[in-house]
Amino acid sequence: MKKHFSKISNSNSKAHGYRFTVGRFLEVAVALVFLVFIGRFLYIGISKTINGQNLTAKTEQLYMRNQVLKANRGTIYDRNGLAVAQDSHLYTIYAILDKSSINYKNQPEYVVNKTKTANKLAQVLPLKTSEILKYLNPARPVFQVQFGTAGSNLSKKQKDKIEKMNLPGIKFFETQSRLYPNGNFASHIIGMASPVYDKKTKQQNLEGTMGLEAWYDDVLTGKNGYQVSAVDASNFQTPNSTHTYKAPVDGNNIYLTIDSQLQEYLESRLSYVQNAYNPVSMTAVVEDIKTGKVLAASQRPTFNPQTKKGLKNSYRDILVQDTYEPGSVFKVLTLSSSVNSGNYHPNQYYNSGSVSVNGSVIHDWQPHGWGSIPFSQAFPRSSNTGFVHIEQQMGAKTWKKYLKKFHIGEKTGVTLPGEQPGTIAFNSPIDQAVTSFGQGVDVNVMQMMQAFSSLANDGQMVKPQFVEKITDANNHTITGYQIKNVGQPVYTKKTAATVLENMRRVLNKRIGTGAAYQMKGQSIAVKTGTAQIANLKGGGYLKGNNNYIFSVVGVTPAKHPRYCIYITVKQPRKMSKPAEVILSSIFKPMMNRVILMSKNGLSSSTLVKTPNLKGLNYKEAKKVAQRVGLRLAKIGTGDKITAQSYSAGQKQQSGKLMLVRTSGSIKCPDMKGWSIDELHQFADLTGVKLRIKGTGIVFKQGLATGEPVKSGTKIKIQLKE
């Protein structure tokens, strides 16, 4: 028994010793681990590095927010203060679908309830719930999705509305963009600014790529600011922390000489001719040639800077980047040179029809001519042979001296990129002869406008200009408009009077080529042109009735010109009517509009301030609107006005349609013929969501006139030029 007990005791003693040894070992191990951690923390505290990285820097990086404060690009206004190019804050919506996206508060940063999310988003986006669900349920797993074009270019108002819904996983990123509210509107002059990625700052910035946007890029571009602040885990600024701030400086603003009302009318006339006769190209300029201020200018082909439609086929600015042989409008320069140099003999006679120069025969546009006629008829009849004789009487040396005075073959320096100076072929007698009627000499449109300005300034040319003034972000003028004379006067006041008298005779039905441009009761003077087009492949000139550049230049008033219109139409492919009919369909309406506006000072009458119409009944409101020059249309079946599309005091063009919201229910109006601006007015007032396709004006709507509508109603709109 004792022996047995002794064995058990010995066994317990050994087990106890084993447990003691293991326990001591564990105590030592724990102590060593503790010492290692203490040592590690001491090491980190002293060295502040781990794995080769500075922890202090990493902590600062984590809790210091360095924010770039974007400067706004300057706005481009027309002469009356209407914005034609401005910054636009647009947003693109996207949805995070990856379920591993959890924030530091352990809350989901992904779309949790797809059906609820789709239902909510359908209230703002022009998409059905089912369409949104398709985006939220892609065929294969992805981290995030966007919603196509319907989820792009959202306004801040739309973004704010969605953010108030507090939908997990729905995020936005801002897209830098430029708003061109008028669409096809002096597009090659105003130009375009596009987002460009800056590798140095790793930021996207708007940069001018065409037109005045490019020429004045440094003027329009602001300077970004920055803000550096300490934030906590919730991204809020911590109290008593260091804070560095530098305010952004917005870019300067540019006011153009262009008048929006004239410009829009010009665009409409050019579009009419483009659709009816399909020319290869067209240009048109309306200028106050007394001062050099360009009031309207455009070209075809053109593009819409907002949608980029047409850009691929019309990247060149024809006004300055293309040169051409001007044809008979150039005779304005030849005649003034001949008169001023004392070599014009109006009562002498010459044989019209044809003339031989060094073995080459030059014909009149009417091959058999008009027999023996006085030189006084050479200009109104646009006789090439007459002007060959006039050039020969001047002599090549004198004629070349005047071409130099007119700065032909030199850039005007107008503020548009890529201007081409043109060329003059002047080596042989035949070269010299054909320049007298505008062949063998290449010019650009603005060179011709500069030359025509001499008619209004007693022979002194003035430089065409597009910019009225430059102001800073606070609208203080930095640079104001100044007339820029070009060289010395080319000719005298007496010479100008003679040339203008000849231009008036062009309208004479018996001997003039410009009878189609007569305007009853209006004081105008014109010169027509028909220039052959060089055959670049086979040499010589192209053949065919439409292979010409047809042109007309006209000034008003006839004796003391102030305004000038110059139009060119190249190769109409549907030449169903004579050239003068095609050109006059632009020239006469534009000249009428210029004369009418000039009687009112050409500026103040085109701009009005929007009155406050809220609370008035519709009949009263309509009278108030008419008094200031606005047209009114109501949305709603009631009578009392509850909202208006333009806020009180806002500047708008005279004659513009303004929508007002009245009490009562809303029915879908007949929107046919509405502009994009009128559609936006309607959407803003009603909350209706429009899915717009195409450019131009409304020609088809997806909801019938008279159908009831409410906020959130979706309507498809088709536009057409």
Residues labelled as active-site residues? 328
Rounded Cα gap, residues 296 and 127, in angstroms: 40
Tokens of residue 638, six digits? 């009631």
Rounded Cα gap, residues 317 and 283, in angstroms: 10
Long-range contact pairs involving 65-68 (C-beta distance under 8 Å, separation at least 24)? 65/227, 65/228, 65/229, 65/230, 65/231, 65/235, 65/237, 66/226, 66/227, 66/228, 67/226, 67/227, 67/228, 67/229, 68/201, 68/203, 68/224, 68/225, 68/226
The CA-based angle 670-676-677, given to 5 degrees, is 100
Rounded Cα gap, residues 669 and 652, in angstroms: 23
Q: How far is CA 477 from CA 248, 253, 254, 471, in A?
A: 20, 9, 10, 4
What secondary structure does DSSP assign to 128-186, as a single string? Answer: -HHHHHHHHS-SS--SEEE-GGGGSSB-HHHHHHHHTT--TTEEEEEEEEEE-TTSSSS
What are the two backbone dihedrals, phi and then psi, of residue 145, each rounded to the nearest 5 degrees?
-135, 155
Strands 563-572 and 279-288: antiparallel
Rounded Cα gap, residues 594 and 583, in angstroms: 16
Residue with tokens 């724990």, as numbered in its chain? 30
Q: Is the peptide bond before 326 cis (omega within 30 degrees of 0)?
A: no
| Contact present, 339 and 542 (Cβ < 8 Å) | no
How does DSSP classify residue 670? -
CA dihedral 17, 23, 24, 27 (to 10 degrees): 180
Strands 253-256 and 76-77: parallel
Q: What is the CA radius of gyration of the chain?
A: 37
Amino acid at 406: F
How does DSSP classify residue 467? E
